[in-house]
Chain A
């Protein structure tokens, strides 16, 4: 699937390490995490998949997971292994900026981009704290809530992302709830990147790798029609 995603035009791939209790995720990723664990997916098998992918493609890849599987391995140890396996960044859903400076230091010292998240609820005083000192890209959460497709995006979204530009020099990607080429296109008018997770997993579940790749291709096309 990773190679198909790369070939369908993904600029960055988020590769998930499943966790038994994904409390920021909606039903789709809950189900896929559960199935992955049932089928024997572990930290090691995910890193192996990344190594295999790296031999064939150079699409930047961000590992995304929750803290506990990583802490069990040892955060420093995990980050070194992830970097060696070819990861470019790490996104930890339950490690907000400022929560644990020791952990942040370990991610950075392994040379991984630590992908920071901002939410519509993030307080104004907190925005610079999150925006400064990060690397890679900034992940803006499109709405309050868990991951998963929604029929509509919030109308304020484009304005919010535009306002963020004032405080952020990094590229801004927007995710949560984006599931159609139209939505991707709308978000791409304001943001540098569009993150699609649950919708892609749902496609993969329904129609296999070819169907998921075709879905990604359509998103890509919708975004490429924008004249930057």
Chain B
């Protein structure tokens, strides 16, 4: 290894990314990088993964033209990439199956993961059940409360869910705790990180596993419309569905890429998760990227109604897409996301995840600006079943499912 190895461009997106980790993990990251290189060069790896994506996950996912949503948005043709129809209910499984296959190649029998909304935890638990791997999922106590259904799903799938009570008790702290576990048990354990964050090679590896979203969608839009979409919309927390759907379109300069961050209670008040809009570059969880922090470099607590977007950092490649101007980033508030959650449910018969509802909120707000510019592609990254109980509670419909206050 040459002295510049980890400083090199291979490990970064412009200045962002890198491997800012405790020394104990450097060997594990080198090992992971080697294993991933070998897997990519091995046709049988991609063949195994593709077979699972087809038969187990249900890919390719449909591209659905949402005609009533078009009218509601007063916009052009709108296509929803239906990642919500994946097995386990979100795009997360594209990545966990890829990484579980990789863990098996590396001979690692124990898997750890962090989760916010629980979707990544469920997708990890599912992959571990399939491959007979031990699975431990770290989840912030606040999210354990918000996403009780997913906690039980993980347990049904054989995973152990460890509530994290440190710090803000959300995704950030679950990630820190997962990294501490990895530092301690590094020999036999693989860390399946759930987003395009963390030290290299995670951001590029997770992006590669998720890029199937954009590859399929690009071909599907072209087949239906005979042209590329005018713009692609995706919600951004850590950014895995966004990088997944954007990646195939990055070379298509005429396609606008728009990421929608969680504005929470509004960008002015400080209770939000809009790292790209309001953060400054810093190092958290092993990578240099935009980060919500105070003037002394302490990480600021994030907020969003959706646990999956409730993270003060963001993937380094998205930071680079922002700085180069290739993508632009806007935000939607909790209230706007809730409104979109209800509207899609009522007019299209699809209950979206609260995360994905942020992208839909932007569509409803900005759709008419694209009327003369061609079709829009929205990544519907997950389904909203997991959010139903939380939304009912937020809206005063009672705490328990099956006990509506009216009707």
Measured between C-beta atoms, what is the minimum distance from A57 to chain B in Å?
26
Tell me, yes or no, whether B358 is within 8 Å of chain A by CB: no
Tell me, yes or no, whether A173 is within 8 Å of chain B by CB: no
Tell me, yes or no, whether B19 is within 8 Å of chain A by CB: yes
List CB contacts (< 8 Å) of B129-187 with chain A: 166-167, 172-173, 176, 179-180, 183-187
The chain B residue sitting closest to A92, CB to CB, is B20
List CB contacts (< 8 Å) of A57-79 with chain B: 66-73
Interface residue count on the B side (C-beta < 8 Å): 44
The chain B residue sitting closest to A132, CB to CB, is B3
Contact of B20 among A67, A72, A141 (CB under 8 A): A67
B residues less than 8 Å from A23 (CB atoms): 22, 176, 179-180, 183, 285
B residues less than 8 Å from A34 (CB atoms): 166-167
Measured between C-beta atoms, what is the minimum distance from B52 to chain A in Å?
31
Tell me, yes or no, whether A146 is within 8 Å of chain B by CB: yes
Q: How far is the CA of A123 from the CA of B298 in the complex (A)?
A: 32
Measured between C-beta atoms, what is the minimum distance from A35 to chain B in Å?
13
The chain B residue sitting closest to A104, CB to CB, is B7
Contact of A94 among B21, B180, B299 (CB under 8 A): B21
Q: Which of B25-33, B71-79, B259-267, B363-371 contacts A (4 or more CB under 8 A)?
A: B25-33
The contact string, 1 if C-beta is below 8 Å from chain A, for chain B 1-36, is: 101111100000000001111111111101000000
B residues less than 8 Å from A208 (CB atoms): none
Q: Which of B37-45, B95-103, B220-228, B288-296 contacts A (4 or more CB under 8 A)?
A: B288-296
A144 close to B183 (CB less than 8 A): yes
Q: How far is the CA of A123 from the CA of B186 in the complex (A)?
A: 13
Q: How far is the CA of A119 from the CA of B101 in the complex (A)?
A: 28
B residues less than 8 Å from A98 (CB atoms): 1, 3-7
The CB with the most chain B CB atoms within 10 A, among A126, A144, A145, is that of A144
Q: How far is the CA of A34 from the CA of B295 in the complex (A)?
A: 17
Tell me, yes or no, whether B398 is within 8 Å of chain A by CB: no
Measured between C-beta atoms, what is the minimum distance from A47 to chain B in Å?
12
B7 close to A100 (CB less than 8 A): yes
Measured between C-beta atoms, what is the minimum distance from A89 to chain B in Å?
16
Q: How far is the CA of A130 from the CA of B27 in the complex (A)?
A: 13
B residues less than 8 Å from A130 (CB atoms): 23
Tell me, yes or no, whether B283 is within 8 Å of chain A by CB: yes
Tell me, yes or no, whether B297 is within 8 Å of chain A by CB: yes
Q: How far is the CA of A99 from the CA of B287 in the complex (A)?
A: 11
A residues less than 8 Å from B391 (CB atoms): none
Tell me, yes or no, whether A101 is within 8 Å of chain B by CB: yes
Tell me, yes or no, whether A163 is within 8 Å of chain B by CB: no
Tell me, yes or no, whether A200 is within 8 Å of chain B by CB: no
B283 close to A43 (CB less than 8 A): no
The chain A residue sitting closest to B301, CB to CB, is A20
B26 close to A96 (CB less than 8 A): yes
Tell me, yes or no, whether A19 is within 8 Å of chain B by CB: yes
The contact string, 1 if C-beta is below 8 Å from chain A, for chain B 269-283, is: 000000000001111
B18 close to A126 (CB less than 8 A): no
Q: How far is the CA of A156 from the CA of B152 in the complex (A)?
A: 42
Contact of A144 among B6, B172, B176, B185 (CB under 8 A): B185
B residues less than 8 Å from A144 (CB atoms): 24, 183-187
Tell me, yes or no, whether A37 is within 8 Å of chain B by CB: yes
A residues less than 8 Å from B179 (CB atoms): 23
The CB with the most chain A CB atoms within 10 A, among B20, B184, B185, B296, is that of B296
Q: How far is the CA of A181 from the CA of B249 in the complex (A)?
A: 61
A122 close to B27 (CB less than 8 A): yes
B24 close to A19 (CB less than 8 A): no
Tell me, yes or no, whether B62 is within 8 Å of chain A by CB: no
* Given A21-B284, A71-B282, also A121-B27 (CB < 8 A): yes
Tell me, yes or no, whether A1 is within 8 Å of chain B by CB: no
* Given A101-B4, A117-B23, A121-B28, also A146-B18 (CB < 8 A): no
Contact of A73 among B3, B166, B297 (CB under 8 A): B297
* Given A121-B27, A129-B1, also A24-B22 (CB < 8 A): yes
Tell me, yes or no, whether B286 is within 8 Å of chain A by CB: yes
B1 close to A126 (CB less than 8 A): yes
Q: How far is the CA of A122 from the CA of B31 in the complex (A)?
A: 11
* Given A67-B20, A122-B27, A129-B1, also A96-B6 (CB < 8 A): yes
The chain B residue sitting closest to A118, CB to CB, is B23
* Given A23-B285, A100-B7, A121-B27, also A94-B20 (CB < 8 A): yes
A residues less than 8 Å from B4 (CB atoms): 98, 101
B24 close to A121 (CB less than 8 A): yes
Q: How far is the CA of A7 from the CA of B126 in the complex (A)?
A: 57
The chain B residue sitting closest to A93, CB to CB, is B22
The contact string, 1 if C-beta is below 8 Å from chain B, for chain A 3-35, is: 000000000000000011111101000100010
Tell me, yes or no, whether A125 is within 8 Å of chain B by CB: yes
Q: How far is the CA of A142 from the CA of B128 in the complex (A)?
A: 32
A residues less than 8 Å from B297 (CB atoms): 19, 43, 68-73
Chain B positions near chain A (C-beta within 8 angstroms): 1, 3-7, 18-28, 30, 166-167, 172-173, 176, 179-180, 183-187, 280-286, 291, 293, 295-299
Chain A positions near chain B (C-beta within 8 angstroms): 19-24, 26, 30, 34, 37, 42-43, 66-73, 93-102, 117-123, 125-126, 129-130, 141, 144-146
17 contacts across the A-B interface (CB closer than 8 A): A21-B299, A23-B285, A43-B296, A43-B297, A68-B293, A72-B282, A96-B19, A97-B23, A98-B1, A98-B4, A100-B6, A100-B7, A119-B26, A121-B27, A141-B24, A144-B24, A144-B187
Q: What 9 new A-B contacts, CB under 8 Å, besides A93-B22, A101-B7, A141-B23?
A: A21-B167, A22-B176, A68-B283, A96-B20, A98-B6, A102-B7, A122-B24, A125-B1, A126-B26
